[in-house]
Amino acid sequence: MKIVSATPVNNGKQVDIEFENKSAYRFHTAWIRDASPSHVGQDFYRKSAKTVFEVDKYTAETCQPSESGEKLVVHFKNGVAENADSDEYVSSWLHAFAPHVGQPLNAHSELKEVLRGTGSVMEALHKNRKPWLADLKMPIFDAKELMESEEKQAEFLECMTDPGVALIKGVGGPESLETSVVGLPLEKLGSGIIGRMNQHPVRATRYGVMHAEARAAAAGADYDHANPLSMHADHSVYHGTPGYLQLMYQARGTVTSKVCDGIAVAEYIKENHPEDYELLTTVHVTHSSRNQIYAQDGAYRQDTASPGATFELVHTHPVITIGEDGLLEKIVQSETKRGVSALPYDKYERFMEAYKLWTKLVEDPRFICNFEWPEHSVVAMNNYRTLHGRAKVPAGMERTMIFGYFQKTIVENRYRFLRQRLVEKQSTMLNDRWLTRLPNQILSKLV
Ligand SMILES: [Fe+2]
């Protein structure tokens, strides 16, 4: 978006800028000066903590569109001749901010609501998520291609918002099945495309290991393959659910597994059982457990002589959390980890009916997508949206599965970075100096 004219007004305290689409805004000169990337060093931090006390001493003397209106040169002065200087701004960057920081000057201009909160570059995609059913066509990525391509990584993270599940093939096998190395292919993939996996409170490795053998079954009902878990989300007992994305790596064995879209079930209930939906989104239940799977050295307890490292977990929340935007933010479901909930007397019977309806529906074949999960591939899913069941392991098949989680902030900032990078690679004007440090809501208009 080019600038056609720019004029200092009110003795240079403000600047009126007109863009080629006829929109026009009045900007504070101090805002323009304060926002300049010139104040920022190579490390993307402000060079000085004192500039903030000086920016409002400056007025705009002249403003001149340059490079055919793609840029604006502002000449600033502050009453001391040697302090006068010029700075250059990218027009499309000023245009992205204009409805948020400017005063509209004509009917072609708009005034945006006051910007609040961190938001997400993923927001538009989040709003357009489509529910899926049993016939979901599982998106498939190639591990090597993902590791090498930022475009593919962005596409993969978009896929983690919608449909919220994908298969990554060609991850390769582990060097051995030893706990300290068996998950390294997953860790390498995860850190290559997203970032560090979430650190467990006690376990030495960031990934967990599940063997379809007797020694793992001893670790708890969660690991008992003879007693398949019902459809669930992970991290139900962790306050705030740190596990936003979940990667599960089939280090040994080939199985079939199943997933279910929490949005599809929630929308079905909203439409057909509105009172149940209301209860599931407002009544808080408690998920809680005491974990005694690990030892003080961070190993699985049955694999070490180290004493136990027992810890407590509790999380109280609605089964379906609705965000401020009115859209589904998070599903937390795990019948085996459901604790004792403080359900109000007058809502108890009706709520439990709603909860049983929900728990049955997430098992309903209409909503369950079954898929092949080959050896050395990874199932990636959005743990806030997609529920999963226990895999079906063929008789006699030895299986080792590795799992790890990524926090929402890490995922969202990785996606922000990838979108910035994709524009930086194409454009000469919108380089990293212009695309960094902006609110997500503004950045979204530029990437
Ligand atoms: Fe799970």
CA of 183 to the centre of ligand 1 (A): 17
Q: Are strands 368-373 and 255-261 parallel, antiparallel or unpaired?
A: antiparallel
CA of 233 to the centre of ligand 1 (A): 6
- For the chain, the domains span 3-114, 125-415
- Note the CATH architecture for domain 125-415: 4-Layer Sandwich (3.60)
CA of 335 to the centre of ligand 1 (A): 12
CA of 227 to the centre of ligand 1 (A): 13
Total residues found in the chain within this entry: 447
C-alpha 163: how far from chain center: 14
Q: Per-residue confidence of the chain (447 residues) as pLDDT tens digits?
A: 999 999 999 999 999 999 999 999 999 999 999 999 999 999 999 999 999 999 999 999 999 999 999 999 999 999 888 889 999 999 999 999 999 999 999 999 998 889 999 999 999 999 999 999 999 999 999 999 999 999 999 999 999 999 999 999 999 999 999 999 999 999 999 999 999 999 999 999 999 999 875 344 445 556 555 555 689 999 999 999 999 999 999 999 999 999 999 999 999 999 999 999 999 999 999 999 999 999 999 999 989 999 999 999 999 999 999 999 899 999 999 999 999 999 999 999 999 999 999 999 999 999 999 999 999 999 999 999 999 998 888 888 899 999 999 999 999 999 999 999 999 999 779 999 999 999 999 999 999
CA of 124 to the centre of ligand 1 (A): 29
Topology adopted by domain 3-114: NE0471 N-terminal domain-like (3.30.2020)
- Crossing angle (nearest 10°) for helices 408-426 and 150-161: 140
CA of 432 to the centre of ligand 1 (A): 39
Dihedral (Cα; 409, 410, 411, 413), 10-degree rounding: 80
Average pLDDT, the chain: 94
At 219, list the tokens: 């670790």
CA of 143 to the centre of ligand 1 (A): 22
CA of 266 to the centre of ligand 1 (A): 20
Three-class SS of residue 336? helix
CA of 338 to the centre of ligand 1 (A): 14
pLDDT (0 to 100) of residue 220: 59
CA of 384 to the centre of ligand 1 (A): 12
User: From residue 369, how far is each of 86, 133, 326, 393 by CA, in Å?
Assistant: 60, 7, 27, 17
pLDDT (0 to 100) of residue 225: 55
pLDDT (0 to 100) of residue 214: 39
CA of 383 to the centre of ligand 1 (A): 9
> What whole-number distance in Å separates Cα of residue 161 and Cα of residue 180?
31
At 246, list the tokens: 């979940």
CA of 321 to the centre of ligand 1 (A): 19
pLDDT (0 to 100) of residue 417: 98
CA of 123 to the centre of ligand 1 (A): 27
Q: How many CA atoms lie within 13 A of 44 on its CB side?
A: 8
pLDDT tens digits, residue range 334-353? 999 999 999 999 999 999 99
How many CB atoms lie under 10 A from the CB of residue 305? 8
Phi, psi of 386 (to 5 degrees): -100, 130
Q: Please indicate whether the domains covering 3-114 and 125-415 agree at the CATH topology level.
A: no
Alpha-carbon torsion (342, 344, 348, 350), positive or negative = negative
Closest CA to 89 of 21, 13, 1, 22: 1
CA of 247 to the centre of ligand 1 (A): 10
> What whole-number distance in Å separates Cα of residue 194 and Cα of residue 48?
32
